[in-house]
Amino acid sequence: MTIVAGGVAPKKRQRVGSNSRFPSTLAVIDSSRPDDSLNEVSHKPFGPRRSSSYSLIPASSSSSSSAGGFNDASTADVVLRLYVENSSPFLSDDSESISAVDQADVQIYLHSGVLRRSRYFSALLSDRWHKESCPTDDVVVSSPVIYRFNLGVSATYGSIDYHLTVLQLLYTNDFSDVVDTASTALSLLPVALELLFEDCVRACVRFLEAVPWTEDEEKKVLGLVPFLSDEESQELLARVSPGKIDSSEEMLHGLIMSAIHNHPNTAFAKAFVAKLLRDFSSKESARRVLDRAFETSLKIVKESLEEYSSPDFRGDHNETEAIQRLNLHTAMTNGRHLLWLVERMIELRVADTAVEEWSDQASFTADLQRAFRDDAWRNIVPGLPAVVLRCTCKLANAVATGNILAARQVRMKLVKDWLPVLIICKENVSHMMSSHKSLYQELEETFLRIISTLPMSDAQELLQQCLSFSTRNVDDCPHLVTAFTTWFRRANRSLPAESLRQ
């Protein structure tokens, strides 16, 4: 059976006995020629010329007792003919002059003692030995036995070349000079499996375990795994097979948490993780990971603001002040992380859960209002209001533009809970943070657009709270004028009686 690397990995197959890994074209013992025919073709030993990718292994004696080296016709007792399976079965007289890479027929001289390192050849030689070891009484065995085998190989580029290399490796115990790249190991491993050459199989597998693979090489490894034993394939599979079902999500979550909390170059790490999220194959997995990280960061921000807004004054004043500063810094730091997560969720269109969570924060928004009415935060975390409102603005804008399709109750609560925070920021913060006025106006416009999607009664209640959006010059707040004009137009519209029936 010829093994082709790559493709879908078939069911695990075991290499057992002497017949489970034979080539598709079995070696044929040729007894039609007289034994002295060897002398007719061996006076000029064939020296296969190799491609530039593989150099000849220096002729060396095997570790067995057999004398002679690879392709040594003077001592060989095995004549092996390698041929491409779709080529002519006849040996060409001038085949010796054709490059081993391109030629379809090669004859080489080997030694049975060495070939027995391959369980495939060991089985062939054992069968032949049984026949030759039981001569009849009238037959006298006076000449050495010459074994002639034909071995068909697949018609793929380099197939004969790889077979020649593996056959040469039978003559050495050191494979390191040949098995020196993943590509080489992947080319030789199918042949070693085919010939049941276990030492070569182990050498190729051990090399593949230790070196990196390209994507194409990884596919070939997976294609060969079914032909390896469980022990041989264990390390290879460990590299590409997750230990548990949700390992990808755990890895991605760990990267997110590391990027936003632990990495010294936070900006670079966040940019890299953002790319991983964009390229992640499963949108639902990315959603779950981001939801989990969002929930963690939001919890920290909420707890920090809650502790700041309701401090415990039983301790030392200086200690209490230090704790308050720490609470504000913690809220600010995790607020930035929260903003980055919101941006990623909106980019991937997976912010549904975040919008629902953000719209159900009556207690959190109450703590923010208490905190921003106090002046203590101004010299500690002056950018905190902007961070919180940017999160709100991005989520609200995703709802207003249809990026996130939120239910009516979610839309209403989003505006109802966060509108007071915006008003407090405008009243207590804007005179210190004039650069944030554009943020406030953008959030005003977004809230008014969301209000326009609500029923008239809900819109009436919320619009009354938006009077703080008005400015000294009415022309400077066209968004507010438009919102009220729209509401009154709808309120004064006369509808057919049947349309008003409940």
90-126: per-residue pLDDT in tens?
A: 334 443 333 444 467 889 999 988 999 999 999 888 8
pLDDT band at 14 (very low <50, low <70, confident <90, very high): low
Which residue, among 276, 226, 214, has the nearest Cα to 251 in the 3D structure? 276
Question: With 60 as the cut, is the pLDDT of residue 65 above it?
Answer: no
DSSP structural state of residue 259? I
To 10 degrees, what angle do helices 159-169 and 182-194 make? 80
pLDDT tens figures, 393-445: 999 999 999 888 999 999 999 999 999 999 888 887 655 455 677 888 899 99
Please check whether residue 190 is in contact with residue 224, taking contact to mean a CB–CB distance below 8 angstroms.
Answer: yes
Q: Find the Cα–Cα–Cα–Cα dihedral 382, 387, 389, 392, rounded to 10°.
A: -160
Q: Where are the alpha helices (DSSP H) in 28-71?
A: 37-42
Compute and round to an integer the Cα radius of gyration of the chain. 40
Q: Which range has the top average pLDDT, 30-39, 85-94, 183-192? A: 183-192
Contact 362, 417 (CB under 8 A): yes
Of the listed ranges 74-78, 295-299, 323-327, 471-475, the least confidently predicted one is 471-475
**Torsion-angle region of residue 51: left (phi > 0), alpha (psi -120 to 50) or beta?**
beta
The token pair that represents 185 in the structure block:
């190991």
Q: What confidence score (pLDDT) does residue 156 get?
A: 83
Tell me, what's the pLDDT at 12? 53
Tell me the three-class secondary structure of 133-177, residue by residue.
CCCCCCCCCCCCCCEEEEEEECCCCCHHHHHHHHHHHCCCCCCCC
pLDDT of residue 497: 55
User: Is-contact 107 30, C-beta < 8 A?
Assistant: no
Tell me what pLDDT residue 91 has. Answer: 37
Size of the chain in residues? 502
pLDDT above 60 (res 133): no
274-319 pLDDT, tens per residue? 999 999 888 899 999 999 999 999 999 999 988 887 766 555 667 7
Q: How far apart are CA 147 and CA 27, in angstroms?
A: 11
pLDDT band at 86 (very low <50, low <70, confident <90, very high): low
pTM: 0.62
